[in-house]
Amino acid sequence: MKINLTSLWTIVGIYIVFIVGAIIYFIGLQNFGFNGLDFVRGGKNHIVGLDDITIVITLVLSAVLLVLSVAAFLRKKTARFLVMSLVFFFFALKEFIILIENFFPGEHIYIPNAVVALELLILLSFALFVYNSRERKK
């Protein structure tokens, strides 16, 4: 199933809504940045360890997957690539939030709530992907 230009703007709109929503949540509601934005090189435990390296690598890989999925969507413009790009967008956003939580521990914000919400969106997107795949076979 091909996606038209309206659907392309729909995915861009979804990205923008989530980014603006995240900014409003963190800065407006959770006061992110009002405690001095003290970056801690070693993360929460103040020691550069495997967990810190894993967080950064996971963020980089999720960003690469997001770019690849969006490029695939722009090339093919199918519903499957649209849903996959949404999944990787939510995953990259989740990893970015985890990075913020780890390297800015002085900011007392409720990251677990945002992470759980993004995990729910990832699961719902995968369910949509599976449902869309089943409908194509019929």
> How many secondary structure helices (H) and strands (E) does the chain include?
4, 0
Question: Quick one: pLDDT band at residue 86, thresholds 50, 70, 90?
Answer: confident
Whether the per-residue pLDDT at 133 is higher than 70: the answer is no
Whether the per-residue pLDDT at 64 is higher than 90: the answer is yes
Whether the per-residue pLDDT at 6 is higher than 70: the answer is no
Lowest mean per-residue pLDDT among 8-12, 82-86, 110-114: 8-12
| 65 closest CA partner among 82, 88, 44 | 88
Distance CA 106, CA 79 (A): 41
Distance CA 22, CA 44 (A): 22
Contact between residue 125 and residue 91 where contact means Cβ atoms under 8 Å apart: no
Distance CA 29, CA 62 (A): 27
Domain ranges of the chain: 5-131
Distance CA 36, CA 29 (A): 16
pLDDT tens, 10-59?
A: 766 777 887 788 778 777 777 766 666 666 676 666 777 788 889 899 99
Q: How many CA atoms lie within 13 A of 23 on its CB side?
A: 6
